[in-house]
A = this chain, B = another copy of it.
Amino acid sequence: MIESAETSAGEPTAVRGFSPRTGRPIGDPVPVSSEAEVDRVVAAAREVLPGWAARDGGERASVLAAVADALDAARDELVAIADGETALGVVRLAGEVGRTSGQLRMFAGLLRAGAHVGAVLSPADPALGRPDVRRMLHPIGVVAVFAASNFPFAFSVVGGDTASAWAAGCPVVVKVHEAHPATSIAVARVVRAALTAAGAAEDLLGLVVGPASGAPLVTHPGIAAVGFTGSLAGGRALFDLAAGRPDPIPFFGELGSVNPVVVLPGAAAERADELARGYLGSLTLGTGQFCTNPGLLFVPEAGGLPDAIAAHTRTTTGGPMLSERIRDAYERSTAAYAGPEPARGTAGEGAWAVAPVVRRTGLAEFVAHAAELTEETFGPAGLVVTYPDPDRLLTALAVLPGSLTGSVHAVEADHPLAARVAAVLRPRVGRLVHNGWPTGVAVCWAMHHGGPWPATTAPGHTSVGGAALRRWLVPTAYQDWPDALLPPELRDANPLGVPREIQP
């Protein structure tokens, strides 16, 4: 079966969506973008940059809110297309549209509050010979966004990267993910119409399509920064391109994460069954296709928790993965597991369905093979590491690579140990979770979805939450600048009423 036409060079000329349930193509082929097309899309985005950058926070907020409304209004239509391409299910996908529109509204709220411009005023001090200096943040330029496979709405065409870049005043060019091309085209159609209706330029959103369109996008002179969510290998390759440009640009990539979860002895003794259920619920949610999937679980050797987890694993059902490539990688990775036979669930229905797999090992074995055992397996695969005592646990946690999250299950009696565990985890993770599971990232002002390499390429920044827009902003200091020529946010009268920090 020929899935797509090819050029004489062997490059496909179109991208097809596939049903993970049947393994067969679904929807219309979407033509891939030539380098000339990438040029054209970036040029169109640059064209609309000055106008969008010049709008104040309140004006941008109204546009974001209008896009959110349009997404909600088109929800059922979009969910149906996405469910065909991803098999994530209409309930989850409808929720994800709500998360996506909610995220746009959160940024709209932040824009109305005005703190995003980071206004700081240092008044002149003639005694010190210090001039008047006023600082605020401005948009960095056109942002390239790489959509992820596993969130066809929330981390795709108009997901968190796009919403935060728009909020910052930046037009966006999205590299469509091959796992949901029809969804991407449908979302873009809805969004571009909403932009136009709201009085904004439709070219605030551009799309490029095809695996070969990523490199020319990252290296394009018209691109000022990149947002990426995806695999370690793919992210690293694009990061290297961004850093290797004649003019390197910031690359905000969210790559790989094993998300360690530590169950302390008191919690294990008191809540074994609840913890086993909770762990497998988190591990198998969305067929394990989350960057916050709990890949590593540390539990006391003594007590029944390890066996309870193995027993619960055998009752779980997996599901179809997002693409044939992802399914193949999961099967390859779990088939190569050394050591004792893991506990397995069943795969369930679907051409690309896979079964949950949970391995178990001891702490010494884990430390001895840490490099290999802390590699992320994308999907519902977990490693349970049993620890004999807290001191050896603490030593072992120090070998962990960077992760998006670190979680601790504890009862009150565990608190002194929880503090020591947190001290080891904190420099290694972006988010510390207490008595909860890492999957599910709340979209709120205080969220940090980031972490040290390989969790991200930029440990100082987040791709979810209010601070996500800071990635797309650069400061300007205005020295002795005439009041009438200052941006309104910095004028003496502060006509927009933005919050400002004033040096005493």
Binding site for B on A (CB under 8 A): 50, 115, 120-122, 130-131, 133-135, 138, 140-141, 239-240, 243-244, 247-250, 402, 415, 418-419, 422-423, 426-427, 429-436, 442, 444-450, 452-454, 457-460, 462, 465-467, 470-471, 473-482, 484-485, 501, 503
Contacts and interface: CB of A to CB of B under 8 A. Distances in A.
A442 B131 contact: yes
A127 to B, nearest CB: 13
A475 B467 contact: yes
Given A434-B482, A446-B120, A446-B135, A453 B248 contact: yes
Nearest to A422: B485
Given A120-B445, A415-B482, A477 B247 contact: no
A248 B476 contact: no
The 3 closest A-B pairs by CB, nearest first: A122-B444, A243-B243, A448-B477
B115 A434 contact: no
A460 B471 CA distance: 8
18 contacts: A115-B501, A130-B442, A135-B448, A140-B459, A239-B243, A240-B244, A243-B243, A243-B244, A247-B452, A248-B453, A250-B460, A419-B485, A430-B476, A431-B477, A436-B479, A447-B477, A450-B474, A460-B471
B130 A444 contact: yes
A476 B474 CA distance: 22
A434 B447 CA distance: 39
Contact of A247 (B422, B446, B453): B453
A197 to B, nearest CB: 28
Nearest to A474: B459
Contacts of A467: 120, 135, 475
B141 A427 contact: yes
Contact of A460 (B473, B479, B501): B473
Contacts of A435: 480
Given A250-B458, A460-B250, A432 B503 contact: no
Contacts of A418: 482, 485
Contacts of A50: 423
A466 B120 contact: yes
Contacts of A480: 433-436
B501 A426 contact: no
A244 B449 CA distance: 24
A476 B432 contact: yes
B135 A447 contact: yes
A497 to B, nearest CB: 16
Contacts of A457: 248
A290 B436 CA distance: 53
Which of A120, A138, A429 has the largest count of B CB atoms less than 10 A from its CB? Answer: A120
A501 B445 contact: yes
B248 A442 contact: no
A212 to B, nearest CB: 23
Given A477-B432, A480-B433, A481-B432, A445 B415 contact: no
Which of A121, A131, A402 has the largest count of B CB atoms less than 10 A from its CB? Answer: A131
A476 B431 contact: yes
A418 B486 CA distance: 11
A445 B476 contact: no
Which of A134, A436, A471, A476 has the largest count of B CB atoms less than 10 A from its CB? Answer: A476
Which of A447, A465, A476, A477 has the largest count of B CB atoms less than 10 A from its CB? Answer: A477
Given A432-B477, A474-B452, A459 B250 contact: yes
